[in-house]
Chain A
Amino acid sequence: MRKRVAGLILAFLSPMSVAQNQVNMSPGVTEIGADIFELHMLIMWICVVIGIAVFAVMFYSIYAHRKSKGHQAAQFHESTKVEVAWTVVPFLILIAMAVPATSTLLEVYDNDEAELDILITGYQWKWKYEYLDESGEPVAFFSNLATPQEEIYNTDQKGDNYLLEVDEPLVLPTNTKVRFLVTANDVIHSWWVPEIAVKRDAIPGFINEAWTRVPEEGIYRGQCTELCGAYHGFMPVEVHAVSRPEFDAWMAAKRGDLTGMTNG
């Protein structure tokens, strides 16, 4: 039990751990992810401080001003001064929060000068990825849940990446500004990968934009976050970030498959 508690505290202190029982947002691997994480922590700590102050007053009152201890009720019920104070001070705190929030939002919306465009289309219940920026036939494929039914229906041992694994992941080059164009073919979906801090709704008839620049190679997992029907919980996102040469080789192989298919 003590180990468990210690583990929880550790998990709280080191938000990088994606392990069991994570209790906080992950700063992820991208710059924007880190900015959002800092913003989240800033607002949270401001709330914690205000909360402690407010509840301290309340609990002191509960302790000291109880009838059972014979406390006599005062009869004051108005003070314009304090009313003005607790209107103005929170307002100033809000302005202090709005400044970093605005600048982070501007960053998120900076979709210009992408080096690679990928069209993401949501389907009931899978994702389709199309690489748009190369000339010629675009590389395109579907990405389906890879977790077998036996695991879902408890007749087989669940794997480590239960419900977060796909048959064909999205492959991205590292240190490259990638723009996602997000849309849907049937109902509204939402494409989310927490570790790269991208969440955009995929809406039929609309093309939304989002971007990322992944600095580290690795596998990043996410899920659909807009209710899209019965199997909404079963359309994960899996992103593999690889070095540029590795990406180029993967792309060439994909293209080869494609030409192989058209020629054959």
Chain B
Amino acid sequence: MGDHHHGPAQGISRWLFTTNHKDIGTMYLWFSFAMFLLGGFFAMVIRAELFQPGMQLVEPGFFNQMTTLHGLVMVFGAIMPSFVGLANWLIPMMIGAPDMALPRMNNWSFWILPPAFLMLASTLFMEGGAPAFGWTFYAPLSTTYAAPSVTFFIFAIHVLGVSSIMGSINIIATVMNMRAPGMTYMKMPLFVWTWLITAFLLVAVMPVLAGAVTMMLMDIHFGTSFFSAAGGGDPVLFQHIFWFFGHPEVYIIILPAFGVVSQIIPAFSRKPLFGYASMVYATASIAFLSFVVWAHHMYTVGMPIAGELFFMYATMLIAVPTGVKVFNWISTMWRGALSFETPMLFCIGFLILFTLGGFTGLMLSIAPADFQYHDTYFVVAHFHYVMVAGAVFSMTAAIYYWLPKWCGRMYNETMGKTHFWISFIGFNITFFPQHFVGLAGMPRRIPDYALQFADFNMMSSIGAFIYGASQLLFLYNVVATIVAGKSVSDEKVWDGAEGLEWTVPTPAPYHTFEEPPLVPKPVGTI
């Protein structure tokens, strides 16, 4: 990088005013990691209280604040921004574009995030405490019966929504307009495909969430009764609106994770991704189905039987494209030349645990059985298998995989593998027993529980502390790599890696692809 005119600005203004996709990606990633630690801290409080029966550390009301903030911070602060950060770093480099299509908006969509989360976190110190109605914030608990801080929560959600919509528009505009010549849609890396589809989901459903919180605001401050039965409103309407956002939301979280895994497994199998086209179609099918399954979160609200049957059948159908994806990943590994560096280990961990989460998801889709599962720890176990072992594991894999490309230094492999094994074991000790207590009848979101659940809860808490501690090892490894890791200068850091991002120098210069690259010919390559 000899060219001074194109180098980054110095000092704080570099970060405040940057329009560079790599800088913005970096900020998103660090911000989301900070949020991951904060949300993790809330989880530790939850698990510490649940270590034994009886109330020991916190009051029930505060416990609910913890579960609520844990969910909100992890979903909106950790997982979603981390994948936006990854998209910022990688999409331009993968499609041969010099930057994102709308760089100033890109800056703005990041910089409104920290104030939003400051506002959300500040509710902890307000009179009446932080939101305590769960991350699903069902009315009227979140309206008529909520603490005054709910207004700040609503405003924070609005800002997060604006940020997500801007980020998504940017991604759509970039992918549609800035692909290098020859980079046709069906040649795009799968990570770009999954993000393109995710961006459409976000643009479609974030306004719905905004509508829901706006109606809450009206109910709270302006005397309307959207969700208040006493005024002729309908509390179930809230759930329909929320889950019309909420179900696509869970695919917003997992689709980019699918994209990451579809990049990494072929690299360490040294073999092209199996069934590229079917992966694209499966992703699109999952996205489409996500709009017509929302009420499977509401089997017990008393829907008519026709509604129950429709949502049950539609939900079961999602198993088909999801199964196709898992089969394709395994076929990619089949007869490859496998090696097991840290990113691959996290992807295999993802494959095993996400599939388990998929199985419990299929069980939960069965409406009559869901009458026993609904709102128990079985559900908690299910969604942590898909969110943590799905999204977080794949995100971790992504960091290990692309970090050397980004900073030109190699992480410590032994420490990476140690991180994987501690995470994998800690995760399973935490969440596997939650299937048991859930089936045995322990409801979720309770600060104290009956004695027969004691042993498994203690096990769960110990696992959670192990898993939590392992993330500090991850932080250390990443910082140590950036500061003093062993230098790498090969363009292809990994011998099996394919794609345009591996054709630029290592570390990736501040500006890449100012001239559009030549897109390699063969179809179906990753």
Any A CB within 8 A of the CB of B25: no
Chain A 168-193 interface 0/1 with B at a Cβ cutoff of 8 Å (1 = within): 00000000000000100011101010
Looking at the assembled complex, report how far the CB atom of B233 sits from the nearest CB atom of chain A, in whole angstroms.
Answer: 8
Q: Which residues of the partner chain B approach A47 to less than 8 Å between Cβ atoms?
A: 359, 362-363
Q: Give the chain B neighbours of A222 by CB distance below 8 A.
A: 441
B184 within 8 A of A: no
CA distance A58 to B327 in the complex (A): 10
| Interface residue B203 (Cβ < 8 Å from any Cβ of A) | no
Q: Per-residue CB proximity of A152-177 to B under 8 Å, as 1/0?
A: 11100010111110000000000000
List 19 other contacts, CB 8 Å, given A36-B369, A43-B363: A22-B440, A22-B452, A25-B372, A25-B439, A25-B440, A39-B368, A43-B366, A51-B359, A72-B337, A73-B271, A77-B332, A160-B451, A194-B441, A199-B371, A225-B375, A225-B376, A232-B60, A233-B447, A234-B448
Tell me how far the C-beta of B307 lies from the nearest C-beta in chain A, rounded to whole angstroms: 11
Taking the complex as formed, is B331 at the interface, i.e. its CB lies under 8 A from any CB of chain A? Answer: yes
Cα A198 to Cα B368 in complex, Å, equals 10
B132 A230 Cβ-Cβ under 8 A: yes
Distance, CA A135 to CA B54, complexed state (A): 44
Question: Nearest-CB distance from B231 to chain A (Å)?
Answer: 10
Docked Cα-Cα span, A188 to B313, in Å, equals 27
A58 pairs with B333, CB closer than 8 A? yes
A: number of interface residues (CB 8 Å): 96
A43 near B138: Cβ-Cβ < 8 Å: no
Classify chain B: how many residues form its interface, as a range.
Answer: 35 or more
Residue A98, interface by CB 8 Å: yes
- CB neighbours (8 Å) of A106 from chain B are 305
- Output the least CB separation between B38 and chain A (Å): 22
Chain A 14-26, CB-CB to B under 8 Å as 1, else 0, gives 0000111111111
Query: Would you call the interface of chain B mostly helix, strand, loop, or mixed?
Result: helix
Q: Are A197 and B141 in contact (CB under 8 A)?
A: no
Minimal beta-carbon separation of B236 from chain A (angstroms): 6
A57 and B330 within 8 A (CB) = yes
For the complex, what is the distance from the CA of A50 to the CA of B138, rounded to whole Å? Answer: 36
Q: Which residues from B are CB-within-8-Å of A117?
A: none
**Residues in chain B within 8 A of chain A (CB atoms):** 53-56, 59-61, 64, 132-134, 138, 140-141, 144-145, 229-230, 233-236, 269-278, 300-302, 305, 308-309, 312-313, 316-317, 319-320, 323-324, 326-327, 330-340, 348, 351-352, 355-356, 359, 362-363, 366-369, 371-372, 374-376, 435-436, 439-441, 443-452, 454-456, 524
CB–CB B330/A186 < 8 A: no
Contact residues in B for A163 (Cβ distance below 8 Å): 53, 448-450
In the bound complex, CA of A74 to CA of B332 (Å)? 10
Residues of B close to A98: CB separation below 8 A:
312-313, 316
Checking A19, A192, A199, A227 against B138 with a beta-carbon cut-off of 8 angstroms, the contacting residue is A227
